[in-house]
Amino acid sequence: MPRTTRPTVAVTAGLTALLLAGCTGGSSADSGGKGFAGAVPGRAQAGATPSATPTPPPSGPYVALGDSYTAGMQIPPQTGEPSGCFRSGVDYPSLVAKGLGVASGQFRDVSCSGATTEDLTGPQTTGNGRNPAQLDALDADTRLVTLGIGGNDAGFMEVVLECAKDNLVDAVKGVIKQTHAASPCRDHYSAADGTDEVQRKVDTAGDRLGRALQDIKRRSPQARVYVIGYPTLLPADPSSCLPVLGRTVALPDLGFLVEKEKQLNGMLKKHAEDAGAVFVDTAGPSAGHDMCAGEGERWIEPPFPARGLAPIHPNAKGQEAVAGVVLKAVRG
């Protein structure tokens, strides 16, 4: 999710540094597997009950849109232009295209690390090159669109970093005052009216996503559109993360992060359904494969990732697993 024109790799690197100083992520929504284009009704025979003729999965043109969770940040082989998008040749869109038998000339992956919904309609400047507006890859011939975006709009990676920082500051205060806040990160984002800043950002991201989905429908009215949710980052029981994260972040604040990710995915699901697109849940299938799972089981790298991989981002196994969930949804 990180944005290259804002804190991106630096955000996750900063999180790693903070953590080192303190201690040692289903099924698609019930839309029949059909996006905007919908199902094609079958012809009713005389005296027979009308039945729907299954629509075969599209074989292209296929356009993949999204941020670093789509692009496969730092997963080798890195490919495509600009290089600052950190796009992998084995990200889930590439695997979906292969699984559907989409010809190379019929597939365009324009996802880019750091992308927000604003980068769907305007160019994105990265640390190494400029990515054109992602929606410019669409046209009237497009038959399949996958979209994985929203985390950067909601500032989710910044929230993770803020939680690490708040807990570190609270730990220092605790040494001096001998008192600790139960949930310093939640306290940081809480407002007097009971809402929090993260929820406000998620709601704003939802409004932008809704407009983007309408734009996709206008540009590619025959396309089947799938909004891809974010995989489970933390387990439902945050205490199981203690061996990986230590006690740098209070357990209630780990629970706060779990809650915020659920809100983010809930927003994506709602706006996908409102727009007539299909929401693909990856949080359910990735349960038990979060960043705190063992190295052989995890689909998301922890703050201390395997060599060369991006912290708190999907690894190759995670991209392959998400591709399987998306293929299942597209094939109906």
| Mean pLDDT (the chain, rounded) | 81
Q: How high is the pLDDT of residue 248?
A: 67
Is the distance from CB of 286 to CB of 25 less than 8 angstroms?
A: yes
Instruction: Return the higher-pLDDT residue of 318 and 175.
Output: 318
Query: What is the pTM assigned to this prediction?
Result: 0.81
Number of C-beta neighbours around residue 2 at 10 A: 29
Q: Is the pLDDT of residue 92 over 80?
A: yes
The residues, any chain, with a CB within 8 Å of residue 195's CB and separated by 6 or more, are none
Q: Is the pLDDT of residue 93 over 70?
A: yes
State the pLDDT confidence band at 254, using cuts at 50, 70 and 90: confident
CA distance 137 to 184: 43
Is the distance from CB of 90 to CB of 77 less than 8 angstroms?
A: yes
Domain boundaries, the chain: 9-38+54-331
CA distance 37 to 57: 12
State the pLDDT confidence band at 51, using cuts at 50, 70 and 90: low
Q: Is the pLDDT of residue 87 over 90?
A: yes
Per residue in 276-323, pLDDT (tens digit) is 999 999 999 999 999 999 889 999 998 888 889 998 999 999 999 999
What value, to the nearest 5°, has the Cα angle with vertex 139 and ends 38 and 278? 30
Q: Is the pLDDT of residue 156 over 90?
A: no
Q: Is the pLDDT of residue 55 over 70?
A: yes
Instruction: Please identify, in words, the CATH class of the domain defined by 9-38+54-331.
Output: alpha beta
Residues serving a catalytic function are: 68, 313
Instruction: Return the higher-pLDDT residue of 105 and 198.
Output: 105
